[in-house]
Amino acid sequence: MSGRILLAKTGLDGHWRGISAVANALRDGGFEVIFAGMARAEEIVAMAIQEDVDLVGLNVGGRIEVVLRIVVALREAAPDLPVFAGGTLPPPALAQLAELGIEGFPPGSSLASILDAARRLTGYLAENGAG
């Protein structure tokens, strides 16, 4: 059985290349990816619970405040559900996420490091090894 990951964009930016590449890398690594697209906090929380995911990945469109609201909502609804984030993450945003125990992947992060984090956070190791 594969781990299930919900990926969602947190902003209205038009950049889809990064999150699409991450989704493909996670699928190639053996995960089932549920792609929410652009979604608000309550939609992300509802989907995470409804889809019974093992991890939530947030694509940051530059507004860390939006991501922090989503994290608070997720932690209230599912306190043990791990979250990681990628996208436009300047050093102060990375620090804010780190204080909450959330790994951040700014532009230039390798897909291998994201896949490794997903495996570690979900406890899922692909039977076919590293992707």
Given a contact cutoff of 8 angstroms between Cβ atoms, the answer to whether 48 and 74 are in contact is yes
- Is residue 99 within a helix (H) or strand (E), and if so which, with residue range? helix 91-99
Q: What is the pLDDT of residue 38?
A: 86
- What global pTM score does this model have? 0.89
| Tens digit of each residue's pLDDT, the chain (131 residues) | 469 999 998 866 656 677 899 999 999 999 999 999 888 899 999 999 999 999 999 998 778 898 999 999 999 999 999 999 999 889 999 999 999 999 999 989 999 999 999 999 999 865 444 44
Angle at 69 between CA 115 and CA 106, to 5 degrees: 35
Say if residues 82 and 122 touch (Cβ distance below 8 Å): yes
